[in-house]
Amino acid sequence: MSEWLTWLAAPLSSDHLFMWRAVLMCGLLGVSASLLGCVLVVRRLSLMGDALAHSLLPGIGVAWLVCGTSVTALLAGGVVAGLMTALASALISRLTRLKEDAAFAALFITLFAAGVVLVSRLGTPIDLMHFLFGNILGLGDDDLALAAGVSTATVTVFALFYRSILLECFDPAFHRASGGWSAATHLGLLALTVLNLVAALHALGSVLAIGLFMLPAVSANLWCDRWGRMLAWAASYAVVGSIVGLYISYQAHLASGPCMVAVLGGGFLISSLISPSHGLMRRWRRSTVHHREGTAERCAQPGGPEAGL
Amino acid sequence: MSPAIVHFDDVTVCYGRRPAIHHLTASWPAGSMVALMGPNGAGKSTLLRALLGWQPLATGRITIAGSPVADARPRIGYLPQRTLVDWDFPVSVRTVVEMGRFPRRGAFHAFTAADSQAVDAALDEMGLTQVQDRQLAVLSGGQQQRTLLARTLSSGADIVLLDEPFVGLDPASVADLIHRLRTWAGQGRLVVAALHDIALARRCFDQALLIRTHLIAAGPIAEALDDHHLAEAYGSDYATPHAASAAEGALHDHGDH
């Protein structure tokens, strides 16, 4: 028991401020990134989120070259790059025969390559590694301040506009037909996604950042049949999984960011196997499930329409 | 509430510079079942989009009981095509029906007892009370369609627009859905469905609006869907009785699968 406590406490000793910062980052961004991951998953925008993360690189790269590690500049560079990718792909898909996903794929890989060229020409190989895979043990106070702001904003928006977000994710046509702010909700969620990606960049880099968004969300989708539960499950799993990954990387001397994402991914693989209602195990239990659904079907026959409204 | 009468007056809708609907004038009376028909690309969806206020009008105006559409939005209930709904989405039947009350409560206000009663009544009328806590994917096609109907019911809409509501339903579910829609029309609602099945329209609907970018025929179903009008909408092959019955048979078979 006391060995476990020592193991747990060792990385968080008072001279390990970098670990405190890393754990705090996992807590802050784990919650907000996984909420947005849930939106991306149910709206079938998972690959677009990935593409968006990659395309931020040149914007961040230019900002870093011009202004150094100023958080405001990095944020501005990332937001500009993200917006330009989204706008340019929308324009290309409207003005040429290409569909939007094809335009997005072509643009993001072009921008990603340009970003890598830029950073590798003007920085060191270490800089490039940090841009691609992050440096969660080298976070500064301004990184945490940005993450805290973005995370608070995201959680607040989800709490205040829970109904609008649910409607927009489930049935945008109905949302729009009933007078909701469908377009504003959609754009707002995309903007929050870009902000969270930028905030996660220093920690996880443009290649790994999307792992903190998608892996908790797809795992939660395998376990939960209610939207609210899926959000809560994803947020909890993101925080716990990323901190476990961080601990393992510390104790086993492994690269931190990849270790965190690998742990989250391991949980996803296990979920896809053992989730009772939506995992691969379901196939083995198919006959019993079908039997149960058949029974429910017979119980639910309409008793005939009744008047009186 | 004044009767749910929709009136189109000289309506033209354009995509870019290409008109999708030309100078259409027609009325849909309250308490009727209207079949909105025409070949692919005839402008059926465009007309529904215009009525929902999603598509600006190049000419003319659309009124609901004499008022502009924008003022009567809560009266319109819209059911998207079945294939456009993500039935795997993590929500219960009851939550979907509750969505019908969201527009009334806005983003922040809590549900009242009246809201819960409206949701309970809608679930009950659609025979979904026993499956209200289930996720949508485990329901039958008919139950899924009734879930969307119950959402419309809980919203209090009295103008119901359905886009291809019968596609992918088995014959028993089609019959059940028709029966429920007819009940609604009998209660004074206006039910409008975009559909392709001419035989089904003739059998179960009162009114038709037949279009092919312009108005071909509007009015009582038998007159609006006579051979002459159908030939004008779908091409001259359709006019010969043999081809017509063969095509109807094919459509009917298609609907059964």
* DSSP-based three-state secondary structure for B21: strand
Q: Is a pLDDT exceeding 50 seen at residue A225?
A: yes
The partner residue sitting opposite B140, judged by closest CB among A166, A169, A297, is A297
Contacts of B80 in chain A (CB under 8 A): 171, 173-174
Q: What is the side-by-side order of every strand in the sheet holding B18-28?
A: B18-28, B6-15, B59-64, B67-68
At B225, list the tokens. Answer: 């869907």
At B18, list the tokens. Answer: 């290409």
Q: Do B99 and A167 touch (CB under 8 A)?
A: yes
pLDDT digits (tens, 9 = 90+) for A96-130: 888 878 888 888 899 999 989 988 887 788 888 88
Domain layout of chain B by residue ranges:
6-83+159-256
The confidence score (pLDDT) of residue B108 equals 77
Mean pLDDT in residue range B109-137 = 93
Q: Which residue has the tokens 């977000």?
A: A165
Q: Which CATH architecture has domain A2-298?
A: Orthogonal Bundle (1.10)
Fold of B6-83+159-256: Rossmann fold (3.40.50)
CA torsion sign, A160 to A208 to A264 to A15? Answer: negative
Mutate to test the interface with A, among B48, B78, B87, B173 (most CBs of A within 10 A): B78
- Residue A304: band (very low, low, confident or very high) from pLDDT cuts 50, 70, 90: very low
pLDDT digits (tens, 9 = 90+) for B158-193: 999 999 899 888 899 999 999 999 999 999 999 999
Cα A236 to Cα A91, A155, A219, A221, distances in angstroms: 38, 13, 11, 13
Domain layout of chain A by residue ranges:
2-298
Mean pLDDT in residue range B127-144 = 93
Least confident of A245-249, B124-128, B157-161, B224-228: B224-228
| Mean per-residue pLDDT of chain A | 86
Q: Which of A64-73, A228-237, B41-50, B199-208 has the highest mean pLDDT?
A: A228-237
Mean pLDDT in residue range A255-273 = 95
pLDDT digits (tens, 9 = 90+) for A143-167: 999 999 999 999 999 999 999 999 9
In order, the DSSP letters of B138-198 are GS-HHHHHHHHHHHHHHHT-SEEEEESTTTT--HHHHHHHHHHHHHHHHTT-EEEEE---H
| Å between B136 CA and nearest CA of chain A | 9
pLDDT digits (tens, 9 = 90+) for A34-62: 999 999 999 988 888 888 899 988 888 88
- Residue B247: band (very low, low, confident or very high) from pLDDT cuts 50, 70, 90: low
Sequence-separated (6 or more) residues with CB below 8 Å from residue B238: B227, B230, B231, B244, B247
Interchain CB contacts (distance < 8 Å): A and B: 101
The confidence score (pLDDT) of residue B251 equals 54
Q: Do B131 and A300 touch (CB under 8 A)?
A: yes
Contacts of B175 in chain A (CB under 8 A): none
| Rounded distance between C-alpha atoms, residue B215 and residue B192, angstroms | 16
At A254, list the tokens. Answer: 């492994």
**Do the strands B76-79 and B67-68 form a parallel or antiparallel pair, or are they unpaired?**
unpaired
The confidence score (pLDDT) of residue A217 equals 97
Q: Is a pLDDT exceeding 80 seen at residue A300?
A: no
pLDDT digits (tens, 9 = 90+) for A183-202: 899 889 988 998 999 999 88
| Å between B54 CA and nearest CA of chain A | 8
Q: Which residue has the tokens 């209090």?
A: B156
| Rounded distance between C-alpha atoms, residue A98 and residue A72, angstroms | 35
Mean pLDDT in residue range B32-49 = 90
Q: Which helix (H) or strand (E) holds B6?
A: strand B6-15
- Residue A287: band (very low, low, confident or very high) from pLDDT cuts 50, 70, 90: low
The partner residue sitting opposite A305, judged by closest CB among B103, B128, B183, is B183
Using alpha carbons, select from A206, A195, A187 the residue that is nearest to residue A152.
Answer: A195
